Amino acid sequence: MADIKEILTKSELSRTDIVSLLEARDEDKTLLFEKAAEVKQKAVGNIVFFRGLIEFSNICSKNCYYCGIRSSNPGFGRYNLADDEIVEAARFAHLNQYASLVLQSGELMSNVFTNRVARLLEKIHNATNNELRITLSCGEQTRQTYQTWRNAGAHRYLLRIEASNKKLYEMLHPNDSNHSYEKRLECLYLLKETGYQTGTGVMIGLPFQTTGDLADDLLFMKNFAIDMVGMGPYIEHADTPLYKYKNRLLPLEERFQLALKMIAVLRLLLPKINIASATALQAIDKLGREKALKTGANVIMPNITPGSYRNNYLLYQNKPCTDDSADDCKNCLEVRVALANNTIGYGQWGDSAYFTEKKQHTG
């Protein structure tokens, strides 16, 4: 049996140490969570930054085996919000001092899409006095497109690697040129080179995934010197090909605990980065997102997508907040964050402290 107490005193964690931490149970797990909370408080404080999440289109050209909005799924309405609706949601975020937005969509690669998003960024900045930090999460694109969006005022970009193990990645995606592991990795490098605060993440509790894979995911993030991470439990969706492996999955509660442990270990590995408390945590446990704040997360993405569209962005089942409004989520989260003894960093951009520090060192 690994001595968790001893592991938690080390300044460098090996792969074996990380696996032991991810497998910790009972008091050992509590020790890990306490340590992560302590490191979080010292490195970034008990402040949570809000990012208003706008899921502006569920149209996607990809066919990931796990995702409810994959292109071959015909069973629901596809939508694409009008620019005015998106700008209105951005105004809500601005008025309510969220200070940051995330614009997320399915993955489309075309000049029309590139230009549309660039125009949208400009419209949002104009409507909000240039006071919002904007994160994009629009998938794999060319260097040129990433540059165009960066020039139009996007500062951060989220692109989950989903699984850093190439073999596992390939089990989760169709075997075609539209779903290449190498391309995805290359995009992460392009984002970094283009000057974005770069975010990635993985799904936790996937079929065929081992704790060794998860340890490698964390080391991947560390070696990449990632600025932000959003990762959450995998939740099976009945209308997807991966559903057939549902009997091989860990029980939901265990997947949830594993996700909390991943967040905690990541906080130890990269104390100053921003770590999102993923919405998928709340699909399993009603208090999921606040529990993650106590084990190292420091970002929450309240959904501000206009209500009528939310039911059509079902990446996984049981997605929370689909019947709530932006105001509901704000009120709800204020209570929840206070229960986790954190304060909301209203009006603060909350850039990744790690990103800022790296930049100072390189001039």
**Of residues 4, 136, 315, 321, which one binds ligand FES by CB under 6 A?**
321
Least Å distance, CB 19 to ligand SF4, is: 27
Alpha carbons 62 and 71: distance in angstroms, whole number: 6
Q: Does 324 bind ligand FES (CB under 6 A)?
A: yes
3-state secondary structure 315-345: CCCCCCCCCCCHHHHHHHHHHHHHHCCCEEC
Say how many C-beta atoms besides its own lie within 10 A of residue 159's C-beta: 24
- What sign for the dihedral angle of Cα 81, 85, 91, 97? negative
Rank residues 21 and 67 by Cβ distance to ligand SF4 and give the closer one: 67
DSSP state, residue 305: S
In 94-119, which positions are buried (b, 16+ CB within 10 angstroms) versus exposed (e)? bebebbbbbbbbbbbeeeebbebbbe
Q: Which is nearer to ligand 5AD, 99 or 204 (CB)?
A: 204
Contact of residue 69 among ligand 5AD, ligand FES, ligand SF4, none (CB under 5-8 Å per partner type): ligand SF4
Instruction: Check binding of 138 to ligand 5AD (CB under 6 A).
Output: no
Phi/psi for 283 (5° steps) reads: -70, -25
What is the length of the chain? 363
157 binds ligand 5AD, rule: CB under 6 A: no
Strand residue runs (E) in the chain: 47-50, 52-57, 100-105, 133-137, 156-158, 197-200, 203-204, 228-233, 274-277, 299-300, 343-344
User: Does residue number 301 form part of the binding site for ligand FES (CB under 6 A)?
Assistant: no
Shortest Å, Cβ 313 to ligand SF4:
9
Contact with ligand FES (CB under 6 A): which of 38, 85, 88, 328? 328
Do the strands 343-344 and 52-57 form a parallel or antiparallel pair, or are they unpaired?
Answer: unpaired
Nearest residue to 72 (alpha-carbon basis) of 63, 64, 81, 80: 63
Number of Cβ atoms within 10 Å of the Cβ of 318: 13
Which residues, numbered 306-325, are part of the site for ligand 5AD (CB under 6 A)? 315-316
Q: What mask, x for binding ligand FES by CB under 6 A, covers residues 179 to 198?
A: --------------------
Does position 334 interact with ligand FES (CB under 6 A)? The reply is: no
Select the residue whose beta carbon is closest to ligand 5AD and give its number. 316
φ and ψ of 199, to 5 deg? -120, 145
* Distance of closest approach, residue 297 Cβ to ligand FES, in angstroms: 14
Q: What is the per-residue binding string for ligand SF4 in 36-75, x denoting contact by CB under 6 A?
A: ------------------------x-x-x--x-xx-----
Phi, psi of 35 (to 5 degrees): -65, -45
**Using the rule CB under 6 A, which residue among 39, 103, 281, 329 binds ligand FES?**
329
Distance (Å, whole) CA 169 – CA 181: 7
Task: Pick the binder of ligand FES from 312, 332, 353, 358 (CB under 6 A).
Answer: 332
Is 304 near ligand FES (CB under 6 A)?
no
The site partner of 324 among ligand SF4, ligand 5AD, ligand FES, none (C-beta below 5 to 8 Å per kind) is ligand FES
Size of the site for ligand 5AD (CB under 6 A): 11
Please report whether residue 55 would count as binding ligand 5AD according to CB under 6 A: no
> Which residues of this protein are in contact with ligand FES, per CB under 6 A?
302, 321, 324, 328-329, 332-333
> Which residues of this protein are in contact with ligand 5AD, per CB under 6 A?
66-67, 160, 162, 203, 234-235, 237, 280, 315-316
